Amino acid sequence: MTIDLLPGHGVRLPAPLPELRFGLTEAAVRGLLAPHGELLPDGVQNTFVCGCRWALALQLPGVSVTLCADDHDRFRSVTVVRNPSDDRPACPVGYHGIDLLGWPAHELVEALRAQGLPVPDPTHSTLRYDSLYLYRRPAASAPSRSPRPSRSSRSSRPARKPRHEGPFTFDVVSHSAPAQDSEVAQHAEGAEGAEAAQ
């Protein structure tokens, strides 16, 4: 059971669930998922995602999947989030045959680079490459039981920032359709018009 992110095309859900291509309407996505209700016990739910015309959520073992639409009501992006409250082993999320959520970030970057992808190093627990965005959600912090140091003791110590991030794994991945040439042209024309107005 692997969720495969298909660069430039969409997502292939675990068999026998379907492949969903970027550009599908909400009705088409629902129609492709409808015959597989027994594999989706929570069903396909409407959800809210800021900036999306429609968004659908579904649960698979160990992960939550959100499908989002663009301004033209077409499927445009998929987000997969590890679900820590699900005791089942999480579905791997594959990209070029590599599980994006199952390995330490530095090993993941090395594996993607070995595939010939010019992936940058993660910064601040995030990684952006092309239409792929990975990040680690902040851990819930437990309330501190130790008293706060006095103001005088805090000011005498220099603040230190770690030089390197410690090892971590990503727990959220988002994959989007590439920008269409017409969208790029419209954005560029809009920017030129704004500059001309200034």
Domain ranges of the chain: 3-140+149-181
- Contact status, residue 65 vs residue 101, Cβ threshold 8 Å: no
Determine phi and psi for 37, rounding to 5 degrees: -55, -35
Closest CA to 13 of 55, 72, 66, 54: 66
- Contact status, residue 172 vs residue 137, Cβ threshold 8 Å: yes
Residue type, 31: G
Predicted TM-score of the model (pTM): 0.78
136-193 pLDDT per residue, tens: 988 764 445 555 555 555 555 666 655 565 688 899 999 999 876 445 444 444 444 5
Rg (CA), the chain: 21
Q: For residue 46, what pLDDT band results from cuts at 50, 70 and 90?
A: very high
